[in-house]
Amino acid sequence: MKYATEILVGAVLLASLAALAVVMSGGEHSWEGSDTQGAGAVQEITGGYEPWARPVWTPPSGEIETLLFTLPAAGGALVIGYFFGYYARGRQRP
């Protein structure tokens, strides 16, 4: 396809602008995790929900929590990327 790169860049740019438009459109945004949303839903249904477990350690800030959450994903992406590169490199050799 002659314009495959241009089409792909345009699609990524369009998707990014659409996501930005949704976020900037105003209104209330709820950036909470599924744990909080699940507890809220159970509280609405039963009216007397109380968690039976407490965290052993709570990170000092949301940024630290996000870092600890994304580190395993970054490590997994690194391993997968290494093996894709390893096998792609092996195919190029005669």
Tell me the pLDDT band of 77, cut-offs 50, 70 and 90: very high
- Of 35, 67, 41, residue with least CA distance to 54: 35
**Domains in the chain: boundaries:** 56-94
Tell me the pLDDT band of 1, cut-offs 50, 70 and 90: confident
Report the b/e string of 6-29 with b at 16+ CB within 10 A.
Answer: eeeeeeeeeeeeeeeeeeeeeeee
pTM here is 0.45
27 or 18, which is more confident? Answer: 18
**What does the DSSP 8-state code read for residue 19?**
H
Provide CB contacts within 8 A for 23, sequence distance 6+: 29
Beta strands in the chain (DSSP E): none
